[in-house]
Amino acid sequence: MVGGGLGGLAAAGLLSRAGLRVTLLEAAPYLGGKSRRLTLAGQRVDTGPEFLTFLGIWEEYLRRWDGPEDRGRGERIADLDLVRLPKIGTYHYRGDVCSLPVEEDHPWHASWQRYVAMHEGFGPDVTLLLSSDWKDPRIRPVLRRIAGLAKLTAKGYLDSLSWLPDGLREIIAIHALDGGAGPRNSPALYAAMPAVIATEGAWVPEGGLYELVVALAKLAEAAGAKLKTGEPVERVEPGRVLVGGEVYEADFVVSDLDAKRLDALLPSGRASVPKRLTPSGVATYAALRESLPSGTPNRSVLLPADTEKFFAALEAGDEPDQTVVFLNHYRPGEVYPNEKDTLTLQLAVPASGKSYDLSDPLVRRETRRLEGTLALPAPLEGYFEDHLVQDPAYFAEWGSVGGALYGVAHPFWQIGPLHRPLYSERRRPWLWRVGASVHPGGGVPAVLSGAMISTGRLLQKLGP
């Protein structure tokens, strides 16, 4: 197993549980990939995905890890205590403010209720679609129901809902970024996702999302996998993996690396430079010396005033004038076992491989815009006791070309659960793939699902 991100750990657990001898090699000194645990001013802050959705995917993973005769063992080993967030977030767009789910006293509440009712039942559909192989006949009625959305793209579908208030339509459309593209280039299914997530909930493990990494590592080790960090793979060949002067023999190699990064390690040694990449991000993680005002929500999302211009800039690889800003804020004892406030400030930017800091013009401009929107009495960085910035240069070092969070940009019909990932190749039957760039869109659920499907195919190939 090359790479110890969420996908690699998930695959290692399932393959070990099936009886294979698995050695996982991770270049970094820690497991988790983009999910990492920091300590800032003595406070715990986790990087990477902020919360879990589609809990049915996690439950399906545990079911497969358990097998038919050992129900509940995986859940006991993982020991993951999930807390439901009261809101997906509080959204700001051109002076309009609303939370998802929309509050009962909000002018958009009736429209929101109508929108949610239209997508009733989509949660189980998406869970089944994500976790099932394309050969599974159970997904055929699901595909027919999704085809009933009538429009191909998220934008086309949302534009067809003429009764949606413009502001609410834009707030729903911004979630197309979860697929690594704008609403013009995302399947219509992404226009239904906010309704499903608001209904089924957004969840955070008690202690922080890195607890999911800890849980997957526990499951992999309990199944017999050997997990090794600080092992940067230099070459992947049929029958062996080279790390420094050491050679690991392998009947099969499963890679959790970005697809293009893996290509550079193969015998051909060539990784083509993709023409279009999914976006990257600038994430600032901070421990605060004093608390933010008491009314500051746990999760705030500030949209650009011109969303069309924003998405066009990202897709062209240009830095936007205004971007989408995410602020996650936890007080002492909320999720993390901390004594001080912590926050994460995230900006969507192109996958340029560029380095950013707090003095960068875009970061300063968008931070000032957020401060004004939230009516903060002082500059945000004035609250920081300690902080760390992760940017496209960081993500490019450990992940994809340019720091693209989902790797290469795909056509809209190949994003999320609707595409057929390249889990294996006919010309390299010994090589298999998992991870965010193989199964883009959908965050943690898509990564776990991809690991289940890929390992399922490999085990089927091996036979009983």
Selected residue with higher pLDDT from 409 and 214: 214
Selected residue with higher pLDDT from 419 and 93: 93
Please spell the DSSP secondary structure of 300-315, one letter per residue: EEE--S-HHHHHHHHH
Tens of pLDDT, residues 287-309: 999 999 998 999 999 999 999 99
pTM for the model: 0.94
Give yes or no for a cis peptide into 337 (omega within 30° of 0). no
Selected residue with higher pLDDT from 134 and 78: 78
Q: Which residue has the tokens 């205004």?
A: 322
Say if CB 400 and CB 422 are below 8 A apart. no
pLDDT band at 149 (very low <50, low <70, confident <90, very high): low
**Poorest-confidence range of 46-55, 127-136, 230-239, 378-387?**
127-136
Tens of pLDDT, residues 356-406: 999 999 999 999 999 999 999 999 999 999 999 999 999 998 778 899 888
Q: How far apart are CA 26 and CA 257, in angstroms?
A: 10
pLDDT band at 416 (very low <50, low <70, confident <90, very high): low
Selected residue with higher pLDDT from 258 and 211: 211
Say if CB 139 and CB 417 are below 8 A apart. no
Note the helical H segments in 98-222.
109-118, 122-131, 139-147, 154-160, 166-173, 193-200, 210-222
What does the pLDDT read at residue 130? Answer: 83
pLDDT band at 167 (very low <50, low <70, confident <90, very high): very high
Considering the chain, what percentage of its residues have pLDDT values greater than 90? Answer: 72
**Poorest-confidence range of 146-150, 208-212, 234-238?**
146-150
Tens of pLDDT, residues 181-201: 889 988 888 888 999 998 899
Tens of pLDDT, residues 61-89: 999 999 887 889 999 999 999 999 999 99
**Chain-wide mean pLDDT for the chain?**
92
pLDDT band at 150 (very low <50, low <70, confident <90, very high): low
Pick the CATH number of 1-85+202-276+410-464 from 3.40.50.1380, 3.90.45.10, 3.20.20.70, 3.50.50.60: 3.50.50.60
Mean pLDDT of 117-142: 85
Mean pLDDT of 205-222: 97
**Poorest-confidence range of 5-19, 417-431, 436-450?**
417-431
**In 3-state terms, what secondary structure has residue 418?**
helix
Q: Where is 121: in which H helix or E strand?
A: none
Selected residue with higher pLDDT from 442 and 330: 330
Considering the chain, what percentage of its residues have pLDDT values greater than 70? Answer: 96
Selected residue with higher pLDDT from 278 and 414: 278
What does the pLDDT read at residue 188? Answer: 85
8-state DSSP, 277: B
